[in-house]
Chain A
Amino acid sequence: MMEKGKNITHSSKDYPFYYLLEPSIIKLSNKFLRGKLKMSKKLVSSLLCVVMAASIFVGCGKQANQPNQGETPGTEGNTSTQGANLTLWSIATESDAFHSAYTRAIADFEEANAGVKVKHETFENQSYKTKIKSAVAANELPDIFFTWGGGFSRPFIDAGKVLPLDDYFAPYQGQISDAALSNVMYDGKLYGSTFTTPLSAIFYNKKLFDDNGIKVPTNWDEFIAACKTLKDNGITPIGISAKDTWVIAMTHDNLVLKSAGPEKVNAALTKSGQSYNDADFINASAKLRELIDMGAFPEGAAGLSNDEASAMFYNGTAAMYTTGSWMAGSIQTDPENPEDFDVYPFPAVGGNGKATDLMGGATDSFMVNAATPNKDIAAKAAFEITKGISKYAYLDGAGIAAWQVDYDDSPVPELTKKVAELASTATSFTIWYDTLMEAEDAGEYLTLLQELYMGNISPEDFAKGMDNQLSK
């Protein structure tokens, strides 16, 4: 059906049903016109319905074909930057902390490049993950799209749907560090640009710490002691959600990193000759169990969503929360007294880990469709817009700037600056494990983690389970 609709012009003869319909219309209507006029009216109108239905199909067919025509690589768009219309997909919906930064960055870009229009379409995070995958499969990607670096975009690169950006990067050399771009490098080629370097740290309620005479812990023993004091004083030490599994993963990722060290973690999770079934990894999981068993987490955390759990932190029911730097932005708006909150790095747990080895790194990326007709300007836009978002989002306190800060940053909230300081002293960055690992392994990781949290499996079983999955 759809196939036939491909070459439609506006002549009625081209309706796909036309030849089918013709004899029957004539035959039937002739029959009824000889006397049963009433009937024929009904019949003709019904037939009209059929024709209309058919035209709907034709319409569908035509529409579905349109993007294809637009996307054929066609003429080399080398000089035709003027009047280019670019489409950008992202997850910066209006409620997103980055939304206003996107808007301003795009406006700046349009101003600097007369004649170029950027159409920004936004989607909700979770559904976007599905949308982007199906768009890649159906060749319906926009010119520029938001995606996540690391394992998530690996299949897109392998399928050849993303434009390598090395040739376009020269003007920006030195304005953004190689470390920030490491998650969009695939097989030695640059495939994207990024705007923020999130990292995870422990946010804490300064007031609760002071009231209970607790100093900021610098090692694991102090950390445990702090939890104990808080617990004894009737305060939930750490807020956590085990229903939204990424939140326990934030804590567990840190424990593993600070116990095994970045090299070992990378080698194990990317299947490069390091078994997960190793004392350092088991030690990290055992530390998580230690925290659970001492009651450091709220009761029933397995049924709490991240929103519910972080609300407990904001209202002072829980004293600490391990999560990404984006919380620094939320703290400016959500709790009653934003000045009560502060941040410190996750302490080292022993083994090879250091406190300055941080979880995080830039994964929020823009990539360019390999089939876009406006390669030059789209690549330029990817860099320019991410650079703009980096600046505006940092000024808003929404994210840590991935690009060089060559502007006045005095309006940046204190807490965000503190996180940025942590980032600048980092000795290494390791991206969240569910991004670092391939999707299938990440899914197993999160599932096993929940089992570990519920006490269904021991830390040893956890390590064995991960080893099984990673050596598949």
Chain B
Amino acid sequence: MDSVRRNKLAIFLFILPALILFASIIILPIFMSGYYSLLKWDGITKGTFIGFSNYLELFTSKSAGFQRTFINAFLLAFLSVFIQLPISLGLALLLSKGVKGEGFFVSVFFVPVLISTVVIGQLWMKIYNPEYGIINVTLRAIGLSKWAKPWLGTQETALGAVFVPILWQYVGYHMLLMYAGIKSISNDYREAAKIDGATEWQIARHIIIPMIKPVLKISVIFAVTGSLKAFDLIYVLTNGGPAHASEVPSTLMVDMIFGRNRYGFGSSIAIFIIFLCFFFAIGIQKAFKTEVE
């Protein structure tokens, strides 16, 4: 076997199928989008090369509304990291301590990840419905009818209203990652700490969390990049509206490409999302590394 590993040709052959798939499905389209983003192109007829004008419009045009989507995406990333992940971590810590019905709770929290996002969208649309939605019905029932709002229909609340299900949906996902990480830590550490008189909080803070740092890193990367490319739930719930209030880069991209036939401009948004995701993925890796040292 070793001799096969040293055989350059064999190595080349073995990685070739995966390499070709990877290159043709991921790498090549990125470069093609990069090229399209330099065109003024309607997707059908021949495009004209316009250099970086699309990018210029991206950052300067007010009517395209890209800045707004940019801020929204960052807000979502921030909320994911500072609200969603702590909740996941808390749940993972609690469950891994050996609560009664541990397996049951793990499954329950993971259910939203398993359900189709469109179904979740429909579900929350009903929850938010101004007429019969559970939120407004409850508010009216307890005499707070002046707080009842068309949640998805006003510009002030739409963004918050779409963020809640997004954050909620993936709590279970991150919890499962962290839970698995915690479970892989040998119980000896915990017992040793207990003998030394450490409280539960101290064990979590000084033993468990440092030991699952690699998992936390992955979770943070997923949370941030996932927020930057968030699409499905927003598309179902508000489609970016009302009046761009809940628009994120990917919904704007879809609107530009399929709504307005602006493939070039849409591609420049796509490239920008890819760039941001890479940038943050690498940045977070670096940040965690320096902290370890």
Residues of A within 8 A of B (CB): 1, 17, 20-21, 24, 28, 31, 39, 43, 46-47, 50, 53-54, 57, 129-130, 133-134, 136-137, 155-156, 158-159, 242-243, 245, 298-305, 308, 312, 317, 438-440, 442-444, 446-447, 450-451, 453-454, 456, 465, 468
Chain A residues whose CB sits within 8 angstroms of the CB of B238 once the complex forms: 243, 303
Q: Kindly state whether residue B128 has any CB partner on chain A within 8 Å.
A: yes
Instruction: Identify which of B3, B242, B256, B261 contacts A450 (C-beta below 8 A).
Output: B242
Q: Which of B9, B151, B244, B260 has the most CB of A within 10 A?
A: B260
By CB atoms of chain A within 10 A, which of B4, B45, B158, B243 has the most?
B243
Q: Do residues B153 and A304 form an inter-chain contact, with CB atoms below 8 A?
A: yes
Chain A residues contacting B149 (CB-CB under 8 Å) are 300
Contacts of B34 in A (CB 8 A): none
Complex alpha-carbon distance, A21 and B14, angstroms: 11
Which of B10, B42, B45, B155 touches A24 (beta carbons < 8 Å)? B10
Judged by a CB distance under 8 angstroms, whether B13 is at the interface is yes
Contact residue among B7, B14, B239 (Cβ-Cβ distance under 8 Å from A243)? B239
Contact sample, A vs B, 13 pairs, CB 8 Å cutoff: A17-B16, A50-B17, A133-B43, A136-B44, A242-B241, A299-B130, A300-B151, A300-B153, A438-B261, A442-B259, A443-B259, A450-B241, A465-B63
Quick one: which of B16, B128, B158, B239 contacts A50, CB cutoff 8 A? B16
Residues of chain B with a CB closer than 8 A to A451's CB: 243-244
A1 touches B17 (CB 8 A): no
Residue from the list A133, A136, A243, A312 in contact with B241, Cβ < 8 A = A243
B258 within 8 A of A: yes
User: How many residues belonging to B are interface residues under a CB distance threshold of 8 Å?
Assistant: 43
Chain B neighbourhood of A133, CB < 8 A: 43-44, 261
Looking at B24, B44, B128, the one whose CB has the most chain A CB atoms below 10 A away is B44
Please give, as numbers and ranges, the residues of chain A lying within 8 Å of B44 by CB-CB distance.
133, 136-137, 155-156, 159
Chain A contacts for B131, CB-based, 8 A: 312, 317
Query: B257 to nearest A CB, angstroms?
Result: 9
A302 adjacent to B260 (CB under 8 Å): no
Q: Is the CB of B13 within 8 A of A443?
A: no
Is B145's CB within 8 Å of the partner chain A? no
Identity of the chain A residue whose Cβ is nearest the Cβ of B20 in the assembled complex: A1
Given contacts A302-B153, A302-B158, A302-B243, 18 further A-B contacts (CB under 8 A): A1-B24, A28-B10, A50-B16, A159-B45, A242-B153, A243-B153, A298-B130, A300-B130, A300-B151, A301-B153, A303-B128, A303-B238, A304-B153, A312-B131, A439-B42, A439-B261, A443-B262, A465-B63
How far does the alpha carbon of A136 sit from the alpha carbon of B24 in the complex, in Å? 22
Minimum C-beta distance from B45 to chain A (A):
5
Q: Which residues of chain A are within 8 angstroms of B243 by Cβ–Cβ distance?
A: 302, 447, 450-451, 453-454, 456
Which of B10, B45, B151, B258 interacts with A129 by CB under 8 Å? B258
Q: A243-B239, A243-B241 are in contact. Are A300 and B152 (CB under 8 A)?
A: yes
Q: Find out whether the CB atom of B241 lies under 8 angstroms from the CB atom of A31.
A: no
Q: B63 to A444, Cβ gap below 8 A?
A: yes
In the complex where A28-B4, A308-B129, A453-B242 touch, is A155 in contact with B13 (Cβ < 8 A)? no
In the complex, what residue of chain A is closest to B242 when comparing beta carbons?
A302
Q: In whole Å, how far is A152's beta carbon from the nearest beta carbon of chain B?
A: 9
Q: How far is the CB of B128 from chain A (nearest CB, A)?
A: 7
Q: Quote the shortest CB–CB distance from A76 to chain B (angstroms).
A: 27
CB distance from A123 to the nearest CB of B (A): 14
Closest Cβ of chain B to A453, distance in Å, is 7
- Interface hits, B1-36 → A, CB 8 Å: 1, 3-4, 7, 9-10, 13-14, 16-17, 20, 24
Question: Which of B1, B13, B242 meets A454, CB within 8 Å?
Answer: B242
**Contact: B259 with A439, CB < 8 Å?**
yes
Min CB gap A40→B, angstroms: 10
With both chains docked as a complex, state the minimum distance between the C-beta of B99 and any C-beta of chain A, in angstroms: 38
CA gap between A302 and B256 in the complex, in Å: 20
Interface status of B232 (Cβ within 8 A of chain A): no
With contacts A28-B4, A156-B44, A299-B150 known, is A243 near B242, CB below 8 A? yes
Nearest chain B CB to A130 CB, angstrom units = 6
Residue of B nearest to A442 (CB): B260
For the complex, is B154 an interface residue (Cβ under 8 Å from A)?
Answer: yes
Question: Of all chain B residues, which has the CB nearest A241?
Answer: B153
Listed residue (B244, B261, B262) with the most chain A CB atoms within 10 angstroms of its CB:
B261
**Residues of B contacting A438 with CB < 8 Å?**
261
Q: Are B239 and A39 in contact (CB under 8 A)?
A: no
**A43-B4 contact given A1-B20, A24-B13, A129-B258, CB 8 Å threshold:** yes
Contacts of B7 in A (CB 8 A): 24, 28
A54 cross-chain contacts in B, Cβ below 8 A:
17
> Min CB distance, B67 to chain A, in Å?
15
Alpha-carbon gap, A20 to B261, bound state (A): 44
Q: Taking the nearest CB of chain A, how far is it from the CB of B94, in angstroms?
A: 35
A-chain residues with CB within 8 Å of residue B24 when the two chains form the complex: 1
Closest Cβ–Cβ distance, residue B271 to chain A (whole Å) = 20
CB of A133, distance to nearest CB on chain B (Å): 6
- Report how far A424 CA is from B151 CA in the complex, Å: 43
B151 / chain A contacts, CB cutoff of 8 Å: 300, 303
Interface positions of B from 123 to 154, Cβ below 8 Å from A? 125, 128-131, 149-154
The CA of A46 and the CA of B11, in the complex, are separated in Å by: 12
Interface residues of B in 43-77 (CB under 8 A from A): 43-45, 63
Give the distance to chain B from A263, nearest Cβ to Cβ, in Å: 27
Do A443 and B255 have beta carbons less than 8 Å apart?
yes
Q: Tell me the bound Cα distance from A303 to B162 in angstroms.
A: 11
* The residue from B129, B241, B259 contacting A302, defined by CB atoms under 8 A apart: B241
CA distance A447 to B64 in the complex (A): 10
Q: Given the interface contacts A28-B4, A159-B44, A243-B239, does A440 sit within 8 Å of B260 by beta carbon? A: yes
Closest to B13 in A: A50
In the docked arrangement, what's the CA distance between A17 and B20, Å? 13
